[in-house]
């Protein structure tokens, strides 16, 4: 027997990428309960769905280049915007940062060897995979892909003959996956912090993942039951939402948004955590207002759960209800603004090193601010009636979700890539790609604010000629954005195999625990569990770490 060899290759210093457990080869990944490998499984599957979603979005933009038919018929267009929404929301942004970077780094950031329930963690990925597969099946089987929009609004979703049920069921299963991840993270944060790490010594991304996890477990069940009821409605005709049988479709909207509004905080909060993580490292300064940033995550999770009806100001609601939801919507802006001001205050008089992660973070702040402020505009009742269901909303949403979460995701990817894989990407190319992405993004989405304000409805296949100029600019933006995205992935994938090897533990000069472990981390992260004595981000003067230059 070659037990001797196996034992050697499983010594304490073997990286998680080379570790040989009970299973080897592909099974060593598919059956691994190592949170880092599960994180990478998510990264691969999420990236695939991101690319699919991007292609659908690109096709939509192409169709809108000219009024009337450009490349597809209206029914295809309806299906494509539905698929773009369902894939991007349920398969990319919602799992997004927690599933990939949360899984990979949460245990390391709190000084633990794994999450609290490693097998449950693997189950979450399988549920995610099954949900994704179902979504794909709903596209391919006869009947045609769902054409309801990602919101599945009743009564259309119980009348259309397209494959709504597989799509609903996919979202239901993905919700389950999300709940189990949240449950796992909460328990991990409560039970597995390293000795000495009290609540206010946790890195800020842990705070934001913790707040996110609560939203995941408290809001997701509502969408679960709601989507299940739509399915039951379609199959058995129970009548709970169907107006023809006495049901109330507006009630469906309430239940849908009770989850789906908090869900946008599931999407954005982890990205805010990443921003709080990256800014002090590249500004070489201690984070400003640590406790405020930490508590604002909790505040966002709390208030964000109470504002759902601002999606329904035009759906029919009492004036009192409208006023309350309008007020609460404005209140959510406060904790978000606290974060932005603290980030900017951290930058003040910092020694800012514009490495790729930092560029993405700065773009996050810029774009998130635009997205956030236009969000407050929509919270104003009178303005909302003007812009409701126009491309203004689409622009707002993409500024927050793509300009915010998407760029946050890319920031995290560029920040942690060398730690995860022990290789460095081409920094010069990464910076150029960033600028292309930034320009492409703003060219694509900014015109939507203008045409939305002028009255261009969202989700429309056709439009009046006076909107064409904005559509043309926007579509040109997509021609910059999409190639830049592929170039970004190309740069990273190339680096995965051919990038310069990184062995330094702390390439960027970070002060959190992941920079104290080996690069890439060993199978159990820490050979000895660390004892935490200081708060994170305690930067001392002149501690500029310039290994990055050498690595390049």
User: Smallest distance from the beta carbon of 165 to other proteins, in angstroms?
Assistant: 16
CA–CA separation, 345 and 337 (whole Å): 12
In the bound state with other proteins, the residue whose beta carbon lies nearer, of 25 and 142, is 25
- Quick one: tokens of 22? 């009970």
Question: Binding of other proteins at residue 31 (CB under 8 A)?
Answer: no
Question: Binding of other proteins at residue 27 (CB under 8 A)?
Answer: no
β-bridge partners, 145: 163
Question: Binding of other proteins at residue 7 (CB under 8 A)?
Answer: yes
The answer to whether 271 touches 410, Cβ cutoff 8 Å, is no
In the bound state with other proteins, the residue whose beta carbon lies nearer, of 107 and 379, is 107
Chosen residue from 31, 44, 48, 245 binding other proteins by CB under 8 A: 245
Size of the site for other proteins (CB under 8 A): 44
CA–CA separation, 466 and 501 (whole Å): 54
Coil, helix or strand at residue 390: strand
Of 490-549, which residues contact other proteins (CB under 8 A)?
Answer: 524
Which residue reads 């769905």 in tokens?
A: 49
Question: Binding of other proteins at residue 251 (CB under 8 A)?
Answer: yes
Of 194-233, which residues contact other proteins (CB under 8 A)?
Answer: 217-222, 224-226, 229, 232
In the bound state with other proteins, the residue whose beta carbon lies nearer, of 11 and 74, is 11
Chosen residue from 196, 239, 316, 321 binding other proteins by CB under 8 A: 239
User: Smallest distance from the beta carbon of 530 to other proteins, in angstroms?
Assistant: 17
In the bound state with other proteins, the residue whose beta carbon lies nearer, of 219 and 287, is 219
**What single DSSP character describes residue 101?**
I
Alpha helices by DSSP H, 87-163: 96-97, 103-109, 118-140, 156-159
Pick the stretch among 139-147, 184-192, 264-272, 362-370 that binds other proteins (CB under 8 A): 184-192
Quote the distance between the C-alpha of residue 10 and its chain's center.
Answer: 34
Name the residue among 262, 250, 266 with its Cα closest to residue 306: 262
Question: Binding of other proteins at residue 318 (CB under 8 A)?
Answer: no
In the bound state with other proteins, the residue whose beta carbon lies nearer, of 198 and 541, is 198
The answer to whether 341 touches 385, Cβ cutoff 8 Å, is no
In the bound state with other proteins, the residue whose beta carbon lies nearer, of 63 and 114, is 114
- Quick one: tokens of 508? 């960027």
The answer to whether 106 touches 206, Cβ cutoff 8 Å, is yes
Question: Binding of other proteins at residue 186 (CB under 8 A)?
Answer: yes
The answer to whether 164 touches 152, Cβ cutoff 8 Å, is yes
CA–CA separation, 44 and 526 (whole Å): 25
In the bound state with other proteins, the residue whose beta carbon lies nearer, of 248 and 353, is 248
Burial (CB count <10 Å: 0-12, 13-18, 19+), residue 489:
middle
Pick the stretch among 149-157, 189-197, 413-421, 470-478 that binds other proteins (CB under 8 A): 189-197
> What mask, x for binding other proteins by CB under 8 A, covers residues 95 to 124?
------------------xx-xx--x----
In the bound state with other proteins, the residue whose beta carbon lies nearer, of 266 and 401, is 266
In angstroms, what CA-CA distances link 366 with 125, 332, 363, 447? 33, 18, 5, 17
* Residues in contact with other proteins by the rule CB under 8 A: 3, 6-7, 10, 21-22, 113-114, 116-117, 120, 179, 182-184, 186-187, 190-192, 217-222, 224-226, 229, 232, 236-240, 245-248, 251, 255, 258, 524
């Amino acid at each position: 027997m070659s037990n001797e060899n196996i034992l050697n290759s499983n010594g304490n210093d073997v990286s998680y990428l080379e570790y040989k457990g009970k299973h080897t080869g592909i099974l060593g990944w598919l059956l691994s309960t190592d949170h880092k490998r599960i994180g990478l499984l998510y990264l691969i599957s999420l990236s695939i769905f991101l690319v699919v979603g991007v292609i659908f979005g690109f096709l939509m933009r192409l169709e809108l280049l000219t009024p009337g038919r450009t490349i597809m018929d209206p029914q295809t267009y309806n299906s494509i915007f539905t698929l773009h929404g369902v894939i991007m929301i349920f398969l990319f942004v919602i799992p997004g940062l927690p599933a990939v970077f949360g899984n990979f780094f949460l245990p390391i950031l709190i000084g633990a060897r794994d999450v609290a329930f490693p097998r449950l963690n693997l189950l979450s990925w399988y549920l995610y995979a099954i949900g994704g597969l179902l979504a794909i099946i709903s596209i391919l089987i006869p009947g045609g892909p769902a054409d309801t929009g990602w919101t599945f609004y009743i009564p259309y979703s119980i009348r259309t003959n397209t494959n709504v049920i597989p799509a609903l069921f996919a979202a239901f299963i993905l919700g389950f996956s999300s709940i189990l991840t949240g449950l796992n993270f909460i328990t991990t944060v409560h039970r597995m912090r390293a000795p000495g790490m009290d609540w206010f010594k946790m890195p800020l991304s842990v705070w934001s993942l913790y707040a996110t996890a609560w939203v995941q477990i408290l809001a997701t069940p509502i969408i679960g039951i709601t989507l299940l009821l739509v399915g039951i409605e379609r199959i058995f005709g129970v009548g709970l939402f169907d107006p023809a049988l006495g049901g109330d479709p507006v009630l469906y909207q309430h239940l849908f948004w009770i989850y789906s509004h908090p869900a946008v905080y599931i999407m954005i909060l982890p990205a805010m955590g990443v921003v709080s993580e990256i800014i002090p490292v590249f500004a070489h300064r201690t984070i400003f207002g640590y406790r405020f940033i930490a508590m604002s995550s909790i505040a966002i999770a709390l208030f964000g759960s109470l504002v759902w009806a601002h999606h329904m100001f035009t759906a029919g609601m009492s004036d009192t209800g409208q006023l309350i939801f309008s007020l609460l919507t404005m209140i959510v802006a406060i904790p978000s603004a606290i974060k932005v001001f603290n980030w900017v205050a951290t930058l003040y008089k910092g020694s800012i090193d514009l490495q790729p992660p930092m560029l993405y973070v700065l773009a996050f702040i810029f774009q998130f601010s635009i997205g956030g402020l236009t969000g407050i505009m929509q919270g104003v009742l009178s303005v909302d009636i003007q812009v409701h269901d126009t491309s203004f909303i689409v622009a707002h949403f993409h500024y927050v979700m793509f300009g915010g979460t998407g760029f946050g995701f890319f920031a995290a990817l560029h920040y942690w890539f060398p730690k995860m894989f022990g290789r460095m990407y081409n920094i010069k190319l990464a910076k150029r790609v960033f600028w292309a992405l930034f320009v492409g993004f703003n060219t694509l989405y900014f015109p939507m604010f203008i045409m939305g304000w002028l009255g261009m409805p969202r989700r429309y296949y056709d439009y009046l000629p006076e909107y064409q100029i904005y559509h043309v600019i926007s579509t040109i933006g997509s021609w910059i954005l999409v190639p830049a995205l592929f170039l970004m992935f190309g740069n990273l994938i190339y680096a995965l195999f051919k990038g310069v090897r990184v062995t330094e533990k702390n390439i960027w000069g970070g002060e959190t625990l992941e920079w104290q472990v080996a690069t890439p981390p060993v199978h159990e992260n820490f050979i000895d569990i660390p004892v935490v004595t200081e708060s994170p981000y305690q930067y001392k003067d002149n501690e500029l770490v310039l290994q990055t230059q050498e690595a390049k």
